[in-house]
Each structure stands twice: as structure tokens, then as C-alpha cells.
Amino acid sequence: MSGMITKQRSPLRGFTGWHMVAVMSLFFGTIISINGVMAWNASRSWSGLVVPNAYVASQQFNGKVAEARHFAASGIEGRFSATAGEVRYILVRNGKPLSAAGRVLAVLRRPVEEHEDLEIELAREADGVFIASRGVKPGQWIADLKVIAGEATVYRQAVRFVVAGERE
């Protein structure tokens, strides 16, 4: 036996714990990075509305639909426009200026932010024409317009609009 030559094998490097740590780090690092990029994009591009209580809003939905149908059947139409220096609302019924309109209240809101919201009452300029000399900053807005005669709401309209110019 002393003349027998034995081959000595070099130990193979196997899959170690450090290899597993590297694989797991790459796997979860990729997932976390992609989620971070998607969350960043979502926070910068989302323009939806948020209600304080979604359940309560869902319960009020059918009432709001019925109210909208009632206003549509009244024949009144509103045309809203806003610039950096003026807010204008024109009310017509069957193509003619609405002479019996009372007051017009407007709530101007940003789609996502609350700190720039405005509540204004438009002054009557002529039959069916209401204006406010109020500057509105450039960007996207939602106007919730309410026409009130006495204590009753005669007409209500929501308009999404954009004021041209560079947003600050």
C-alpha cells in the first residue's frame, strides 16, 4: 500500500451562508427599490379626491344623484370661467339669461390640497351674470357652485377647471 498514489481532491467551495445573504439582499433590495420608485411616482402624480369618511360619502351618493337629476330637469345651465383676475358664472334657462336667480356662492378647491381653498360670493352684474374680482392662482381647481334663492338651493354645479399660467 505504500506504493499506491492517492489523489488528493481540493475541497469544492459550496453554497455558503454568505451566498444566501447576498441572494436575499439582492432579491429584497430589488423589490424595495421598485416599491419606492412606484410610491414616489404615485405621490407626485395623483390628482384624485379624498373624502373625510368614505362610508358616509357612499351613503350620500344616491341623494346627490337625485339632486343632480332634479337640477338637470329644471332647464337651468351654468357656464363657469375663471382667470387669474376674475371668476365669472353665467346662468341661462332655455338659452335666455336667468333673471330670478338669487345669490351665487362658490367654493374653489384644489383637487388634492386644502390650504388654498376659497369661499366667495359672486356679485350680480346683470340678469344671469355673476362675477367676483378675485384672483385665482394658476393650476387645477374644482368649483362647487350653489345658486340660492331665499333659503332654497335653486341650482348646484361642480366644475373642474384649469387656470393658465405657471404654478408657484
Spell out the domain ranges in the chain: 76-163
The per-residue pLDDT for 105 is 92
- The DSSP secondary-structure symbol of 162 reads E
36: which 3 cell numbers? 419606492
Q: List all residues 6 or more positions away from 135 whose beta carbon is below 8 Å from its beta carbon.
A: 84, 85
40 φ, ψ (degrees, to nearest 5)? -65, -45
CA distance 8 to 23: 32
The per-residue pLDDT for 72 is 84
Q: What angle do CA 105, 90, 147 make, to 5 degrees?
A: 30
Residue type, 63: G
The per-residue pLDDT for 11 is 63
The per-residue pLDDT for 107 is 92
Q: Global pTM?
A: 0.63
Beta partners for residue 80, in sequence order: 89
The per-residue pLDDT for 19 is 92
The per-residue pLDDT for 119 is 92
Per-residue pLDDT of the chain (168 residues; tens, 9 = 90+): 555 676 666 566 788 999 999 999 999 999 999 999 999 888 777 666 667 788 888 889 998 888 888 888 888 888 998 887 888 999 898 888 877 667 899 999 888 777 788 899 998 888 889 999 887 888 888 999 998 888 888 889 999 988 887 665
CA-CA-CA-CA torsion sign (102, 109, 165, 79): negative
The per-residue pLDDT for 144 is 92
The CATH superfamily holding the domain 76-163 is Immunoglobulins (2.60.40.10)
The per-residue pLDDT for 57 is 87
